Amino acid sequence: MPNKGVQKKERVLNAINRISQSVLPTQINYTPEMKEKIKKFLNVEEDQIDKRLDNYIKYLPLNDKTRIDEERGIQYDIWEVCWDQILTEGFHIRYHPLIDSDNIREYKFPEPKDDLLTTIKEVGEKERNNYFLLSLQDWTLFERAWLLRGYENILMSLCNNEKEINYLLDGITEFHIEVAKKIVKLNIVDGVFTGSDVGTQRGMVMSPETWRKFSKKRYKKIWGIYKEKNLSVFHHSCGNIMEIIPDLIEIGLDVLNPIQPEAMNPEELSKRFGKELTFFGGISTQNTLPFKTPQEVRNEIIDRIRVLGKNDGYIISPSHEVTSDCKPENFLMLVSTIDKYKRGEINPFRVY
């Protein structure tokens, strides 16, 4: 009997290559707060959640957190960004190290040391036969720049201070390139997951031309390290980024996440890009899971498989981590609908 973990890798790769298969891969991510609820909903221990959800992907983050200030409730990372440890559902920044800097060239970029790869080595070796493994090089370019300098400062730099933004982005890019080189040498991961939110629900934060000018070539360099080894590239951006999807495909993107239905129409995405791109997400965590009925949850899952999976390139998943405002009955419907789909009890291409 074939190893189930090997089957999971094959199913994810088949979805990436848009090869027809009886069951598409699935993934349900969740916040720490939701994790505690899931334990009760499903009556499982913490270390059994992913197995019970039958997740296909395991994320391997960099060990880039340094010290915790328990009194202030913050944690520093290697970039000296301070992350709120009190508000943990979502990501909350308490301090941007360069927000008031008059000379950002005094800033010393972190070194891509080997100890950043501890989790990739330890967890990756343990789980390499159980999941499709993705190294996390998230908060990649635009996001890392504003984490350092502050959001408004970076938006202003994109408009009127090219020297500053190029200095920051060059340093960030070089860091990620060197880390990527170290990761691929380990021969553990199946791909990389990068990300920077450059969209709102109405359009992009910046013009497509600005994104192309400052990000396109830099992503190509980072992704190229993985592509040279035939490893897959996953990328996350919230919001409507329809205008730059052709650029992302051109420079090597395999899988786009999170597919917010509130921002980009799944039908249009599938029609325009379904033959070149694999979609990951699409089930609304903003509206459907917290506010709709269980039947509407079921209907949306079936619709997403039918639409986004039309060309076989789909990883069935909520658009983001499921948050603690998800109704219990809706979460149970999410899990049961996916279970029934995998058992062949639901055919998404049949009208219900």
Tell me, yes or no, whether 39 lies in a domain: yes
Query: Does residue 347 fall inside a structural domain?
Result: no
**Res. 321: pLDDT tops 50:** yes
Nearest to 115 by CA among 187, 188, 179: 179
From CA 235, how far away is CA 313, in angstroms rounded?
A: 15
Domain that residue 193 falls in: 4-64+103-342
In a domain, 351, yes or no: no
pLDDT band at 1 (very low <50, low <70, confident <90, very high): very low
- The CATH code of the domain that includes 316 is 3.20.20.210
Rounded to whole angstroms, how far apart are CA atoms 91 and 85? 9
Pairing of strands 278-283, 255-257: parallel
DSSP state letter for 205: S
> In this predicted model, what pLDDT tens digit does every residue of 257-300 receive, in sequence order?
999 999 999 999 999 999 999 999 999 999 999 999 999 999 99
Q: What is the pTM of this model?
A: 0.96
Q: Examine residue 117 and state whether it is found in any structural domain, yes or no.
A: yes
- Residue 2: its pLDDT value, please? 53
Spatial CB neighbours of 334, under 8 Å, sequence gap ≥ 6: 28, 283, 289, 297, 301, 318, 322
Residue 90 lies in a domain: no
- Token pair recorded at residue 300: 């949306």
Residue 337 placed within a domain: yes
Count of structural domains within the chain: 1
Q: The tokens of 277 are what?
A: 């791109």
Task: Round to whole Å and give the CA distance between 24 and 280.
Answer: 11
Whether 241 and 273 have beta carbons less than 8 Å apart is answered as no
Domain presence at residue 72 = no
Q: Is residue 181 included in any domain, yes or no?
A: yes
